[in-house]
Amino acid sequence: MVAEQPIDGPLAEFFQLVPTAATPRRADKSVGGVIPARALRYCEALTSASAFGWYVFLPITFKVVWDGHDMLWTHEGVDEWLPLTRDAVQYPGFSEVFDQAAPPDIRGFAPPFLGPSIQPGGLQIWTGCIARTAPGWSLLVRGVANLSQSLSYQMMEGIVETDSWFGPLFNNIRILKTDIPIEFRSDVPFLQVQPVKKDVYRDKFLQNFAVKELGELSSENWEAFRRTVVAPNIAADRKRGQYAVSVRKQAAHGGIQSAMAK
């Protein structure tokens, strides 16, 4: 088997254009302590999903309210609601800072912070960040895994080919409830971005699957089911978290092989 070529440099780079107290960081198995201790210990599937990728935060805490037609917003340090029209708004004071740092021909092109969509209740929110990935890698942009989301809005998901597209890392939401102020906090992760190889979401790859019925299970399938489901349930000294133990052993073994290959 041909060894996979190492990545030259970071898998992902984050450029935090708008200053924030919470810069992008590795996602957390416990989701900041939200995951119960029992699940953290025994449910490797859940913790692996939670830790897959990086958290991206918002630079400021702000609120949005939508009445079904018009949208208003406010943020820390402001005592009034401001109209949010088709003309997107900037992070407070960011346009001036951007123009001072940018080359002359790029001045005036600071990415917008909030931009209402033409779709009712749609809103685009920029994290103040730009991301770049290694060649052949993209980012799946989504809400935080295993963190309960607000019932007042829906987070959209998208795959961005950040190895070639160097633009603002944003997400789209759809507001579901009207006449209720919705708060977006700067101390809670807004996005979880996850690295994905381009090849794995191409049609050629995803069309390669099969669906079988109960009667088509092979003897190997039944033996695998016996090991996974039956044996642990009839064992006299059944130990919890066997899947977690197995996955961790495989991960450790893979790490040893990788080190030996070097």
Q: 14 near 24, Cβ under 8 Å?
A: yes
Q: Would you list the domain boundaries of the chain?
A: 12-198, 210-261
pLDDT (0 to 100) of residue 250: 60
61-85 pLDDT, tens digit per residue, is 999 999 999 999 999 889 999 999 8
- Alpha carbons 248 and 176: distance in angstroms, whole number: 40
132-159 pLDDT, tens digit per residue, is 999 999 999 999 999 998 999 999 999 9
Mean pLDDT across the chain: 90
Q: Is residue 256's pLDDT more than 50?
A: no
CATH level 2 (architecture), domain 12-198: Distorted Sandwich (2.70)
Band the pLDDT of 262: cuts 50, 70, 90: very low
pLDDT (0 to 100) of residue 238: 60
CA 207 to chain centre: 25
pLDDT (0 to 100) of residue 259: 46
Band the pLDDT of 3: cuts 50, 70, 90: very low
Mean pLDDT calculated for residue range 30-35 = 91
pLDDT (0 to 100) of residue 260: 40
- Alpha carbons 32 and 144: distance in angstroms, whole number: 11
Residues 6+ apart with CB under 8 A from 10: 134
Q: 76 near 61, Cβ under 8 Å?
A: yes
Note the pTM of the prediction, 2 decimals: 0.86
Q: Is residue 214's pLDDT more than 60?
A: yes
Band the pLDDT of 55: cuts 50, 70, 90: very high
Q: 49 near 169, Cβ under 8 Å?
A: no
Q: What is each CA distance from 193 to 12, 50, 55, 107, 146, in whole angstroms?
A: 10, 11, 7, 28, 14
Q: Is residue 11's pLDDT more than 50?
A: yes
Tell me what percent of the chain is helix, strand and coil, each rounded to the nearest 5: 25, 25, 45
191 φ, ψ to 5°? -130, 155
- Alpha carbons 141 and 2: distance in angstroms, whole number: 31
